[in-house]
Amino acid sequence: MKKTILTLQAQKDKNEKITMITAYEYSAAKLLDQLGVDMILVGDSLGMVVLGYEDTLSVSMKDMIHHSKAVARGVKEAFIVADLPFMSYQASIKEAVKNSAKLLKKGRANAVKLEGGSTYLPHIKAISEAGIPVMSHLGLTPQFVNVLGGYKLQGNDEFKAEQMIQDAKNAQEVGAFAVLLECVPWQLTQKITEKLTIPVIGIGAGKFCDGQVLVWHDILGFNLDFKPKFVKNFSDISEGLKAFIQEVKEGSFPDKAHSFNASKELLNKLY
């Protein structure tokens, strides 16, 4: 059955953890869907982990639609959230609604996510009122890296922690279906999760929230440039790749089980 915002809300209400993993293409999305992940995030992290940019700022609506469409083709049940990329919503509420609609109409996502606190409440309200489920991303918001001064822990002083609690409550108030908290102390996550009736998904935010998200590449140990403290490699893709290189070099791959056999008749005709 296709998951919806109601499924996710029911999971929060039943205290059943929500899983979310990023995907940027068909095969990965299909595998995640078959494995039963609740939500797939077509994150603008795509700019860094797939396209090799140094930050997420260069990601365009065209990139997001292209990758969201590929993900959607692989998914039957998981709920797909696509990121609104940098400058697709910041400039105006109208742009925010128009670009959110494009992610649903062309990208076939089920919801959008946008980064930012109180300034973006009117945007969340308008997107949600337009019939588009919207997730609010608070804490470390990578599109704002230049004003944050780097990829740092957020909400670690009283003023900023209070502000984050208020932003999360307000996001819920104006219609967000969920809040994502990135890189915040676990105690703050716990407080926000207790205060909100909508699901709170964390990344680098500790375990006291309704669900967890990680980037596909980080789960599989692709951390080529940088590995944040909160990332756990659940599997090591390098091991499989090293084995392929070694087996080809030593001649043990491909073996008979992975090769095609010609019939005797064909061989007799050839010699």
Q: Write out the residues near ligand KIV by the rule CB under 6 A.
A: 22, 41, 43-45, 83, 180, 182, 203, 213, 215
Which pair of tokens denotes residue 267?
A: 């061989």
Task: Give 178 or 180: the residue with its C-beta nearer to ligand KIV.
Answer: 180
Which among 19, 181, 25, 33 is positioned nearest to 113, based on CA atoms? Answer: 181
Q: Which residue is nearest to ligand KIV (CB)?
A: 43
CA 235 from centroid of its chain's CA atoms: 18
Distance, in Å, from the CA atom of 3 to the CA atom of 143, rounded to the nearest integer, reads 28
The smaller minimum CB distance to ligand KIV, of residues 82 and 257, is found at 82
Q: How far is the CB of 248 from ligand KIV (least distance, A)?
A: 33
Could you tell me if residue 128 is left (phi over 0), alpha (psi between -120 and 50 degrees) or otherwise beta? alpha
Helix axes 61-74, 93-105, angle to 10 degrees: 30
Q: What is the DSSP letter of 16?
A: P
Is the Cβ of residue 108 or residue 228 nearer to ligand KIV in the bound state? Answer: 228
How many whole angstroms separate alpha carbon 108 and alpha carbon 115? Answer: 20
**Minimum CB distance to ligand KIV, residue 170 (Å):** 20
Question: What does the alpha-carbon distance between residue 262 and residue 254 come to, in Å, rounded to a whole number?
Answer: 16
Measured from the CB of residue 86, what is the shortest distance to ligand KIV in angstroms? Answer: 11
Question: Distance between CA 153 and CA 168 in Å, rounded?
Answer: 17
Residue 181 CB contacts under 8 Å (≥ 6 apart), including other chains: 138, 139, 164, 168, 188, 189, 192, 200, 201, 202, 203, 205, 209
Contacts of 131 (CB under 8 A, 6+ apart): none
Nearer to ligand KIV, 50 or 253 (CB): 50
Position 167, amino acid: D
Question: Which CB, 227 or 242, lies closer to ligand KIV?
Answer: 227
Q: How far is the CB of 251 from ligand KIV (least distance, A)?
A: 41
- The nearest distance, CB 75 to ligand KIV, in angstroms, is 17
- Distance from chain centroid for Cα 96: 19
User: Nearest distance from residue 125's CB to ligand KIV, in Å?
Assistant: 21
Tell me whether residue 182 is one of the annotated catalytic residues: yes
Nearer to ligand KIV, 233 or 253 (CB): 233
Which of 16, 95, 129, 182 does the annotation list as catalytic? Answer: 182
What is the C-alpha to C-alpha distance for residues 112 and 103, in angstroms, rounded to an integer?
Answer: 7
Give the catalytic positions in this structure.
182
